[in-house]
Structure 1
Amino acid sequence: MSTHDDLFKTDAIAWDSDPKTTFEQWMSQQPGRGTSRAHIRISSAEVYRAQWGRFVDWIEQKSIKLSEVDSVIISEFLENLATNRPQRDRYRKLIQRVLADLIKNTAEVGFMNPAAQAMREEGAKWKEADGNLPTSFLKPEERTLLAKHLNSAITAEKEREQWREARDRAIVGLCVGAGLKVAEIVPLTVNCIYLADEQWINLGDKNSQFTHRTRPFEYAVQALKTWLHHRARMATEGNLLFPSDIKPIVKNGKTITSIHPSTLVRITEAMIEESGVKALRGDAHRASPQTLRNSFAAELFEQGESPELVADRMGFAHIVSAERLFASWEMWRNS
């Protein structure tokens, strides 16, 4: 092993401290295509190096370490690439391969690679180049079935599992019954929630001064109240509305309090199956957090609400976004 290998092992510390040099070390260890090729072609390495350098420059401009990258950050990066969908996906695949190396020794069981998650998220704007998938919604009967499940009795026997079950139901409730997206749910604090005579959720974007508020449907309010009861009963620490655990977890010397975005996707998928909605939709029609957010807008449109109100409730900066969603909903409803 060379001195270079000793200095730049591909571990989390190396990736965070010097992602470009560590990438070179990582790339030198990757096999090329074909069983007879021991290393990546020089021409391919040049392409990978340029792609990786562009991604690293982008996250460094935002003061984001590689270990902090999640699916939201990756989607935002891909969205800002002035290229077509296949090219964007090539960037995503490279990021996925690198992150697989980064998290290979630390990822929890069931943890999804953030770049893989970016691929699975419906409605991600980076996919809009060269043929985006059509916008999807839950049918009214599917929403009703899901809402009924969210407000049904907690089934877990152990208190910790009751805590988690109530939390997960409230999370899904805020997606489908309040139109929140994953990036809004993760940082929510208890003081963002108002459940008095009028129920409101105040939301802000940490990267701007833009804020908005939304009014959840009654079934989302009830799921949230049940969660707050269990949250208080178990003396949950911190002010995050949906923490990763009852008390902060220290992992690899780092204190973890926030729930990971990929965990929210797994929670959604599990709830869709538990509620019976998956059986109605079939395996060909997944229901992601974005599908649930779209369904919140659909329910408002069904009630005769205007795109202006939907834009206000969902935090769209421009009304045209709600108008496009309305057009997609009409096409979906009439298909």
Structure 2
Amino acid sequence: MTSTAARWADYQSAFTRWLAEARQAGRIRRATTAQVYQHMWEALATWAVGQGIALPRLQATDLDAYLQSRSGAAEALTPRYAWRLLALVDRVLASHARQRQRSRNTAVPALLDTHADIRHANAVQRDDLPAYLLPADAARLVAHLSALRPRRGSAGRGALPPWQEVRNRASVALMLGAGLAPGEVRNLRCSDVLLDAGAAAAQADNAPGLPWKLHVPSDGLTPERETPLAPWAAQVLRHWLQVRHEAGVTGAVLFPSTRQGGKVWSKVSHYQATAAVLSAAGIDTAGEGSASGGSYRLRHTFALRQLRRGTAEAELERWLGVSDPSVMARYRRILLRPPAMA
């Protein structure tokens, strides 16, 4: 079987398996419904196989490219149709991951996070405000993230934590202190850390200079950009660079999963590390402003903190790499809430 035929067979078998599960569970009863889903899936599968994309490797950028390829077609996809298609893709990918005992593919959630028109297309009302941390929770998390770095005038460093713990806290610091998305954090290279030349020249020791900006490469959904670091996050990142050097961590990846080789952090491992840091900081996942949202609530918290401090929306959009006006509109609605709720 050729590689093209194997890819097509994988797409078809994944859909057939999901459809059987859906019928057995009573979610699909009518033949016409199954035919609609099959038509939707085969159109995507035909495009993906033609592009040489294997099902397990389907990414948000691939789905976005497929939607764009249909924008000028005779059967152009409406936002509601796109929502139904992506919902189908997400379910089939989840079924495929269970069958193969692999981590779930998060391509659909990643794409929906950047397409509000599709995300809300099937909603009765567009009122899904982003999850975020309340000010007290954010302050407690900042204190926790900063606790590992040595203080000026301290007698000694004492027992050193594992380098992975410093890495984990620094990665969270870039989401809360620079507004990066989880995938952007994992893809950063050491060369993407821009140091304050003046501060570096003033260093009396051999410690790294103080970071002040990050170069964030394009991931295909957001543009290449530079974003500043909150001062406390810059200190946490500086400490990680020092620990990284002392621990002998190699490779170009800023936050590698292993000490040697520069292996990129996996989505699942990064998510678990982030959850552990939040838990250790005493961040409750229940309650107003903190429920659900995963790691993205840190990015939303960064945005809200900047807006409260008077950062212009246009500038914040550049820092976050967003162009959808509905993003800032949702933040404004949160800021209009009573102080105790926002």
- The whole-number CA distance in structure 1 between the counterparts of 2:243 and 2:307 is 33
Alpha-carbon spacing, 1:321–1:228, altered in 2? closer, same or farther (3 Å): farther
Q: CA deviation at 1:213?
A: 0.8
Determine if contact 1:19/1:66 at 8 Å carries over to the other structure: yes
Q: CA deviation at 1:66?
A: 2.7
Determine if contact 1:74/1:115 at 8 Å carries over to the other structure: no
Matches within 5 A, 1:43-82: 46-60=35-49, 64-70=53-59, 72-73=60-61, 76=64, 82=78
Determine if contact 2:193/2:215 at 8 Å carries over to the other structure: yes
Determine if contact 2:89/2:108 at 8 Å carries over to the other structure: no
1:118 equivalent in alignment to 2:109:
yes
- The whole-number CA distance in structure 2 between the counterparts of 1:66 and 1:146 is 38
- The whole-number CA distance in structure 2 between the counterparts of 1:120 and 1:322 is 14
> Counterpart of 1:202 in structure 2: which amino acid?
H
Matches within 5 A, 1:28-43: 31=20
User: Among residues 282, 297, 306, which one is paired with 1:300 in the alignment?
Assistant: 306
- The whole-number CA distance in structure 2 between the counterparts of 1:141 and 1:308 is 27
Q: CA deviation at 1:192?
A: 0.6
1:186 equivalent in alignment to 2:186:
yes
1:258 equivalent in alignment to 2:264:
yes
Structure 1 stretches lacking a partner, 5+ long = 1-6, 9-13, 249-255
Q: Secondary structure at the match of 1:114?
A: coil
Matching residue of 2:140: 145
- The whole-number CA distance in structure 2 between the counterparts of 1:149 and 1:163 is 16
Q: CA deviation at 1:179?
A: 0.5
Alpha-carbon spacing, 1:64–1:219, altered in 2? closer, same or farther (3 Å): farther
Q: Secondary structure at the match of 1:277?
A: coil
1:235 equivalent in alignment to 2:248:
yes
Matches within 5 A, 1:160-309: 162-196=162-196, 197=199, 199-207=212-220, 210-248=223-261, 257-278=263-284, 281=287, 285-309=291-315
- The whole-number CA distance in structure 2 between the counterparts of 1:114 and 1:332 is 35
> Counterpart of 2:120 in structure 1: which amino acid?
E
Q: CA deviation at 1:175?
A: 0.5
Determine if contact 1:243/1:257 at 8 Å carries over to the other structure: yes
User: Among residues 1, 21, 38, which one is paired with 2:9 in the alignment?
Assistant: 21
> Counterpart of 1:82 in structure 2: which amino acid?
T
User: Among residues 62, 87, 96, which one is paired with 1:98 in the alignment?
Assistant: 96
- The whole-number CA distance in structure 2 between the counterparts of 1:122 and 1:208 is 10
Determine if contact 1:202/1:214 at 8 Å carries over to the other structure: yes
Alpha-carbon spacing, 1:293–1:195, altered in 2? closer, same or farther (3 Å): same
> Counterpart of 2:40 in structure 1: which amino acid?
Q
- The whole-number CA distance in structure 2 between the counterparts of 1:280 and 1:209 is 30
- The whole-number CA distance in structure 2 between the counterparts of 1:243 and 1:177 is 20
User: Among residues 122, 133, 142, which one is paired with 1:130 in the alignment?
Assistant: 122
Determine if contact 1:122/1:288 at 8 Å carries over to the other structure: no
| Deviations 1:27-71, CA, capped at 9 Å, x for gaps | 56674667799xx9875664444333333345456654333335x
| Deviations 1:301-329, CA, capped at 9 Å, x for gaps | 111111122112212346x3564244233
1:329 equivalent in alignment to 2:334:
yes
Q: TM-score, normalised by structure 1?
A: 0.73
1:312 equivalent in alignment to 2:318:
yes
Determine if contact 2:148/2:166 at 8 Å carries over to the other structure: no
Q: Secondary structure at the match of 1:199?
A: strand
Q: CA deviation at 1:141?
A: 1.1
Q: Secondary structure at the match of 2:133?
A: coil
Q: TM-score, normalised by structure 2?
A: 0.72
- The whole-number CA distance in structure 1 between the counterparts of 2:274 and 2:63 is 19
Q: CA deviation at 1:98?
A: 2.1
Matching residue of 1:11: none
Determine if contact 1:170/1:227 at 8 Å carries over to the other structure: yes
| Deviations 1:75-119, CA, capped at 9 Å, x for gaps | 747986634345532331122212333x42xx4xxx4x1249839
Q: CA deviation at 1:333?
A: 5.2
- The whole-number CA distance in structure 1 between the counterparts of 2:330 and 2:25 is 50
Alpha-carbon spacing, 1:326–1:79, altered in 2? closer, same or farther (3 Å): farther
Amino-acid identity (%): 17
Aligned-pair RMSD on alpha carbons? 4.0
> Counterpart of 2:284 in structure 1: which amino acid?
K
Determine if contact 2:179/2:299 at 8 Å carries over to the other structure: yes
- The whole-number CA distance in structure 2 between the counterparts of 1:182 and 1:301 is 21
